[in-house]
C-alpha cells in the first residue's frame, strides 16, 4: 500500500521527469538528435529594399501535370496547402487544366466515352470546396489534348472543349468559389487556329457564366509562353536554344493575337521564365504596353521553379524570384500569379527548398512567420 509520503514523492518525481530533457525530448528544446537547434532570432540581413515588388496573390494548381512529378496528396494535405497559401497571401487559385491527354481531374462523361482514364478523386469538386472554405477565387482551366504542341492545329481542342465547358458549368457552376475560366493553351506566337480557338471558347465560357454580378460572364485569362532563350523542352538535356524570335517579332505577333482575342480574354499572364534576367523587364514592359492598348489586364506568371539547373525542375532561388517581381512592379503589372505554389513554395512540398523559399518571401515582404 502507498502511503501519502511516498505518493507525494512519486507525483513529484513524475513531474520533475516530465520537465526534464530526456523525457520531453527534442521537440521541447528544439534541439535535434545531434544536439543542434535553429536560432530563430537570427534574421537575414537584407541589403535590398524589402517588399518593393508585386506580391504573388495567385497560383496554378498543377494536379494533372505534364512534367512535374506528383506529390500524392490526399484531401488533408490539400486542405493544409490552402492554409499555407492563405498565409502567403494567395487569393486566387487556378486549376491549370481539367484534363490532359487521357487523364482527367473529374469524371467527365464526355471524355469517359472516349475511353479516357477514370480518376480516383473528383479534384475539381475538391478544389471548389477548398477555395470556398478559405475564401479564394477559383479559375478552372479547360481540357488540354497536348496535340497542338506537335500539330499546330487546334481543331480537336475546340471541338472537345465545347463539351467540357458545358460539363464544368453544369457540375461546378453552383460553387461560389468558381469565379473564372482559364483558357489553357500555352500558345506562343501565331499558331494556326489559336486566335479562333480563344475566341470561340472564351465566348462560350462567358455566355454561360453571365449573371448580375458578371453581366459579361466570368473573367477569362491566358498564360502564354514567350519564345525566349530558355524555351526548350522539359525533356531536353539542354537549357538554352540558339534560335528565337527577337523582342520586336514578339511584339508584332502579340499585337496581332491581342487584336484577335481581346474581346474574350480579360487578363494575360505571360510566363516569365523564358528570358535571361536582364531581358525580363523589357519583355514585361512590352507586354504591358500591348495589354494596355487592347484593354487586357496585365498579370505576370512568375515561375517559381528554376530553369537554369540540370534537375528539371526544383524550386527557384529566392533572388531570381525577387528580381522578376521587382521588374513586374516597375512595369506596373497588376497581379502576379505563380506556377506553382504547391511544389515550389509550399512548406509541405516534397522539395524542401520550397519551404525555405516561402520563408525568404515572407521575410522580404515583412510578414511574420
Using CA atoms, how far apart are residues 298 and 344, in angstroms rounded to an integer? 23
Q: Restricting to residues 223-282, name those near a copy of itself by CB under 8 A.
A: 234-239, 277-278
* Sheet with 103-104, side-by-side order of all strands: 103-104, 99-100, 143-144
Q: Which uninterrupted H or E stretch holds 273?
A: none
Burial of 188 per CB tally in 10 Å (0-12, 13-18, 19+): buried
Nearer to a copy of itself among residue 154 and residue 351 (C-beta): 351
Q: Restricting to residues 19-38, name those near a copy of itself by CB under 8 A.
A: 19, 23-28, 30, 32-34, 36-38
Nearer to a copy of itself among residue 107 and residue 245 (C-beta): 107
Q: Are strands 56-61 and 137-141 parallel, antiparallel or unpaired?
A: unpaired
Q: Tell me how far, at minimum, the Cβ of 327 lies from a copy of itself, in Å.
A: 11
Of residues 244, 252, 297, 317, which one binds a copy of itself by CB under 8 A?
Answer: 317
Nearer to a copy of itself among residue 226 and residue 316 (C-beta): 316
* Phi, psi torsion values for 122, nearest 5 degrees: -85, 95
147 lies in the binding site for a copy of itself (CB under 8 A): no
The answer to whether 215 and 280 have CB atoms below 8 angstroms apart is: no
The answer to whether 54 and 325 have CB atoms below 8 angstroms apart is: yes
**Residue pointed to by grid coordinates 500524392:** 72
Nearer to a copy of itself among residue 190 and residue 312 (C-beta): 312
Nearer to a copy of itself among residue 23 and residue 293 (C-beta): 23
Contact code string over 78-107 relative to a copy of itself, x by CB under 8 A: -xx--xx--x--------------xx---x
Nearest to 98 by CA among 138, 67, 73, 63: 63
The answer to whether 230 and 275 have CB atoms below 8 angstroms apart is: yes
171 lies in the binding site for a copy of itself (CB under 8 A): no
Q: Restricting to residues 287-316, name those near a copy of itself by CB under 8 A.
A: 306, 309-316
Q: Tell me how far, at minimum, the Cβ of 61 lies from a copy of itself, in Å.
A: 15
Nearest to 337 by CA among 95, 68, 98, 168: 95
Q: Please give the size of the binding site for a copy of itself, defined by CB under 8 A.
A: 97
Of residues 10, 21, 52, 211, which one binds a copy of itself by CB under 8 A?
Answer: 10
Q: What angle do CA 226, 321, 58 make, to 5 degrees?
A: 75
Contact code string over 57-76 relative to a copy of itself, x by CB under 8 A: ----------xxxxxxxxxx
Q: Tell me how far, at minimum, the Cβ of 131 lies from a copy of itself, in Å.
A: 15
Nearer to a copy of itself among residue 18 and residue 249 (C-beta): 18
Q: Tell me how far, at minimum, the Cβ of 124 lies from a copy of itself, in Å.
A: 12
Nearer to a copy of itself among residue 72 and residue 215 (C-beta): 72
- Cis bond leading into 313, ω under 30°? yes
Amino acid at each position: 500500500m502507498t502511503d501519502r509520503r511516498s505518493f507525494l514523492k512519486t507525483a513529484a518525481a513524475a513531474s520533475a521527469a516530465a520537465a526534464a530533457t530526456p523525457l520531453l525530448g527534442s521537440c521541447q528544446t528544439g534541439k535535434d538528435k545531434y544536439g543542434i537547434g535553429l536560432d530563430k532570432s537570427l534574421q537575414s540581413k537584407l541589403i535590398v529594399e524589402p517588399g518593393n515588388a508585386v506580391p504573388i496573390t495567385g497560383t496554378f494548381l498543377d494536379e494533372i501535370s505534364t512534367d512535374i512529378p506528383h506529390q500524392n496528396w490526399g484531401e488533408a494535405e490539400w486542405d493544409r496547402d490552402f492554409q499555407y497559401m492563405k498565409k502567403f497571401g494567395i487569393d486566387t487559385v487556378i486549376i491549370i487544366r481539367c484534363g490532359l491527354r487521357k487523364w482527367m481531374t473529374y469524371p467527365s462523361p464526355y471524355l469517359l466515352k472516349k475511353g479516357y482514364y477514370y480518376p480516383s478523386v473528383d479534384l475539381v469538386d475538391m478544389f471548389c470546396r477548398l477555395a470556398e472554405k478559405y475564401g479564394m477565387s477559383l479559375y478552372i482551366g479547360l481540357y488540354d489534348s497536348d496535340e497542338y504542341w506537335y500539330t499546330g492545329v487546334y481543331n480537336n481542342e475546340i471541338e472537345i472543349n465545347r463539351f467540357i465547358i458545358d460539363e464544368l458549368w453544369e457540375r461546378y457552376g453552383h460553387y461560389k468559389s468558381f469565379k473564372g475560366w482559364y483558357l489553357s493553351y500555352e500558345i506562343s506566337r501565331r499558331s494556326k487556329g489559336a486566335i479562333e480557338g480563344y475566341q470561340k471558347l472564351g465566348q462560350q465560357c462567358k455566355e454561360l457564366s453571365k449573371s448580375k454580378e458578371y453581366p459579361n460572364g466570368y473573367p477569362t485569362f491566358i498564360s502564354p509562353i514567350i519564345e525566349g532563350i530558355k524555351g526548350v523542352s522539359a525533356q531536353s538535356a539542354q537549357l538554352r536554344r540558339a534560335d528565337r524570335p527577337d523582342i520586336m517579332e514578339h511584339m508584332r505577333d502579340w499585337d496581332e493575337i491581342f487584336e484577335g482575342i481581346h474581346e474574350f480574354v480579360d487578363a494575360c499572364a505571360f510566363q516569365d521564365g523564358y528570358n535571361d534576367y536582364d531581358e525580363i523587364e523589357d519583355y514585361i514592359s512590352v507586354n504591358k504596353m500591348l495589354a494596355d492598348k487592347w484593354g487586357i489586364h496585365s498579370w505576370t506568371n512568375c515561375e517559381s521553379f528554376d530553369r537554369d539547373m540540370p534537375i528539371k525542375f526544383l524550386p527557384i532561388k529566392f533572388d531570381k524570384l525577387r528580381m522578376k517581381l521587382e521588374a513586374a512592379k516597375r512595369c506596373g503589372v497588376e497581379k502576379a500569379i505563380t506556377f506553382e505554389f504547391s511544389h515550389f513554395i509550399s512548406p509541405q512540398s516534397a522539395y524542401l527548398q520550397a519551404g525555405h523559399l516561402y520563408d525568404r518571401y515572407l521575410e522580404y515582404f515583412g510578414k511574420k512567420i
